[in-house]
Amino acid sequence: MNRTLPVQKNDYIDVIVEDLTHDGAGVAKVDGYPLFVPNTLPGEKAKIKVIKVNKGYGFGKLIEIYEESPYRVKPSCLIYKECGGCQLQHVSYEGQLKAKEKQVRDVLERIGKLGNVKVHPVLGMQNPWRYRNKAQVPIGEQEGGLIGGFYQQRSHQIINMKECIIQQEKNDEVVQTVIDICSRYGVHAYNEGKNKGDLRHIMARYGLVTGEVMVVLVTRTADLPHKNKMIEDIISQIQGVKSIVQNINPKKTNVIFGEETKLLWGEEVIYDFIGDIKFAISARSFYQVNPEQTKVLYEKALEYANLTGEENVIDAYCGIGTISLFLAKKAKKVFGVEIVPEAIEDAKRNAELNSISNAEFAVGEAEVVIPRWFEEGNAADVLVVDPPRKGCDEALLQTIIDMKPKKVVYVSCNPGTLARDLRILEDGGYKTVEVQPVDMFPQTMHVECVSQLVLKM
Question: How far apart are the C-alpha atoms of 227 and 225, rounded to whole Å?
Answer: 5
| Euclidean distance between CA atoms 456 and 431, whole angstroms | 6
Phi and psi for 386 in degrees, rounded to 5? -140, 70
CA–CA distance, 451 with 139 (Å, rounded to integer): 40
Cβ neighbours around 305 below 10 Å, total = 24
Q: Which of 77, 83, 86, 413 is catalytic?
A: 413
**Is the CA virtual torsion 279, 282, 285, 291 positive or negative?**
positive
Residue (of 173, 261, 181, 192) closest to 227 by Cα position: 181
**Are residues 331 and 351 in contact, defined by beta-carbon separation less than 8 angstroms?**
no
Residue pair 10/49 in contact by the 8 Å Cβ criterion: yes
Provide φ and ψ at 87, rounded to 5°. Answer: -115, -10
Distances (CA, A) of 451 to 115, 117, 133, 296, 351: 14, 10, 26, 14, 26
CA 43 from centroid of its chain's CA atoms: 29
Separation of CA 4 from chain center: 41
Does residue 83 have an active-site annotation? no
Enumerate residues 6+ apart whose C-beta is below 8 A from 236.
none
SS3 420: helix
User: Is 117 exposed, middle or buried (CB count within 10 Å of its CB: 0-12, 13-18, 19+)?
Assistant: buried
Residue 149: CA count within 13 A, CB half-sphere: 22
Neighbours of 284 (CB within 10 A): 15
Catalytic (active-site) positions? 413
